[in-house]
Structure 1
């Protein structure tokens, strides 16, 4: 692991999720930009002193040279610190599991994409919400044409934890610092999740965005609210709202997809349920672990219905899929078909293109910006 040391939220989440299915063991790490703190944190986790590193570059060199070196590295640093370790480990021949967004700019995103193509190494982006069983069932419904041609896609991600200034809060501080977070605040932190969720379920990436970003809290340097319109090449239209100043909201990620024949509605705060309606019929509530679900949903289910699954299990599914991807790569085999939607470097490039296009659009009073131009 690179990053995720003392005081970090997401590092602990990754460590718990990675071991949930007994597919991964943490054996090495560079957990902080301070070498002594990094080594001390690794020792506190019970790692071998020889594998508690002072920095990621040292770790990449040493692990690549070991006969029992790491199989993959998980990068869980602030956004601006994704590119350098990802490049270092790919160049050392190590597969990468990286938190989103991929990078803070399109040039670095393209450089990583080119490096993945050149090395052929597995690269997984941890858009964890795509690991939820009912999200995977929603994707299956769309892919099988059950909804008919898609007309409308509505995505939102509402939180309230940044509704006030939080001086001294490490999580708030780096997310509000352009040097660490990149050009987007709520854009890079949560809007990217809503964007990827919409693309994952529909099976298509939006082609253009028109955005307005706001900084409602005085002194804030990055956006804390995003209102965007989306266009799909196939004719679907949509809206995306992401806010970290939405008082009363905790982790309100929601997606509605409306086709010509049917519609679906999923909320992260009630993740075991998918609301589904056919035109002219009574709406249904489909339940995780219940009858009639797709193999994609069943394969991501761990517990019987009625035992809630959620955030950690979604992350765990990404890690389990990453293990299967790595094993297929080692065996010289094509990845199983069920891994076709696993987010990787391509989705990372698309996410960075969305952030970049939304920032440009907002600066141009909501002008429509092509995502393909930003991803080029």
Structure 2
């Protein structure tokens, strides 16, 4: 493994930005990455103050991403950054990601990957042409027990998969918060900044990715019903989708941001011929296995069972009984991505475990999910084909 830390630049994520602080904490957890520069806000005062708070050198605190990427690319190899992390709203993902790849930098980017499906295809092609890596921060795939569930289904422990039920209810948009000074609500419900879907674009993509990641299946058809429940809102805040998968399984996906009283109650259940499994994001250390002809089995992250997947154990950080939470899951994505880059810098081949992070292909499927769900909801066709 290469002996130095990876050097990173951040676009967006300045003081007051929720997700920027999450990224900064997560990437620091394993000591593999250091932030060396940033274009942290479109507000010059916030950009400069944020850079100083991160102890960046004054000359590497930039007021826009174009200057940052151009000037960083001109630095000698032992100074220039290795990759950029883009933590801006959806509409400001595509251009900085494309420029970063043009300048020879790897990219970490928030989901959904782009504003439109067409942009996602262009970005996917750019990644392939550049030979660089792109990591998409679908956080929930970083949880240890999610990885355990994936490994068990891949191994056929439940037999042929028949049913997938995934739900993501939140309640934070139960009022017209975008008109009440809530910055997060304002951009997430603005089609120009968020894209053509609200709740399905924001959290429905997480649910869809989790379903495909755990099962290893792909959605092939869907039947969607999107709704705007809060009067005056411009994008869907609630929706239900019937799913069909490429092995013949069917499923249900629900995403709502007007489920009053809910926090982040992401949950998935998968049923096969021999039994089912169940995982809750708000109780992430536990994986329930429900057998057809045996008592329910409870697996816990951190416990020394001796027969758990190495994909789980390599992403498990705490002793038994200590929470493996959101920050740790985020950090696992950064760790796997960083270890992959460090291996390649050293002329070595990354392991399958290192390569276990979402990439541009997941990003394209996420944008296709949004496109197809919206089109299905607007269509009279009962079963709408999942078009790529």
Same fold (TM over 0.5): yes
Q: Measure the CA separation in 2 of the matches of 1:99 and 1:17.
A: 13
Deviation at 1:335, TM superposition (A): 2.8
- Which residue does the alignment assign to 1:52? 61
Which ranges in structure 1 are unaligned for 5 or more consecutive residues?
none
Deviation at 1:198, TM superposition (A): 0.4
Q: Measure the CA separation in 1 of the matches of 2:51 and 2:355.
A: 34
* RMSD, matched Cα: 1.2
Residue from 246, 251, 262 that aligns with 2:259: 246
- Which residue does the alignment assign to 1:191? 204
> What TM-score results when the alignment is normalised by the length of structure 1?
0.97
- Which residue does the alignment assign to 2:46? 37
Q: Measure the CA separation in 2 of the matches of 1:147 and 1:37.
A: 52
Whether the aligned pair in 2 keeps the contact of 1:196 and 1:351 (CA below 8 Å) is yes
- Which residue does the alignment assign to 2:7? none
Which ranges in structure 2 are unaligned for 5 or more consecutive residues?
1-9
In structure 2, the CA distance between the partners of 1:366 and 1:4, relative to structure 1 (3 Å rule), is farther
Residue from 62, 65, 68 that aligns with 2:71: 62
Q: Measure the CA separation in 2 of the matches of 1:221 and 1:333.
A: 49
Is 1:206 the counterpart of 2:212 in the alignment? no
Whether the aligned pair in 1 keeps the contact of 2:336 and 2:355 (CA below 8 Å) is no
SS at match of 2:362: helix
Higher mean displacement: 358-367 or 69-78: 358-367
SS at match of 2:38: coil
Give the 4+ runs in structure 1 shifted more than 6 A.
Answer: none
SS at match of 1:187: helix
SS at match of 2:208: helix
What is the total number of aligned residue pairs between the two structures? 373
Deviations 1:265-323 (A, max 9, x none): 00000000000022110001110011132111110111101111110000000000110
What are the within-5 Å matches in structure 2 for residues 127-206 of structure 1?
127-166=138-177, 167-206=180-219
> What TM-score results when the alignment is normalised by the length of structure 2?
0.94
Q: Measure the CA separation in 1 of the matches of 2:182 and 2:138.
A: 24
Is 1:283 the counterpart of 2:296 in the alignment? yes
Whether the aligned pair in 1 keeps the contact of 2:89 and 2:187 (CA below 8 Å) is yes
Deviations 1:218-260 (A, max 9, x none): 1000110010011111101001000011112111000101011
Whether the aligned pair in 1 keeps the contact of 2:47 and 2:61 (CA below 8 Å) is yes
Is 1:218 the counterpart of 2:218 in the alignment? no
- Which residue does the alignment assign to 1:17? 26
SS at match of 2:158: coil
Q: Measure the CA separation in 2 of the matches of 1:141 and 1:27.
A: 40
What are the within-5 Å matches in structure 2 for residues 313-328 of structure 1?
313-328=328-343
Deviation at 1:26, TM superposition (A): 1.1
Whether the aligned pair in 1 keeps the contact of 2:337 and 2:355 (CA below 8 Å) is no
- Which residue does the alignment assign to 1:112? 123
Deviation at 1:8, TM superposition (A): 1.2
Deviation at 1:6, TM superposition (A): 2.7
SS at match of 1:29: strand
- Which residue does the alignment assign to 1:97? 108
Residue from 351, 374, 378 that aligns with 1:336: 351
Deviation at 1:37, TM superposition (A): 2.9
Deviation at 1:44, TM superposition (A): 2.6
Deviation at 1:52, TM superposition (A): 0.6
Q: Measure the CA separation in 2 of the matches of 1:308 and 1:286.
A: 14
Whether the aligned pair in 2 keeps the contact of 1:122 and 1:329 (CA below 8 Å) is no
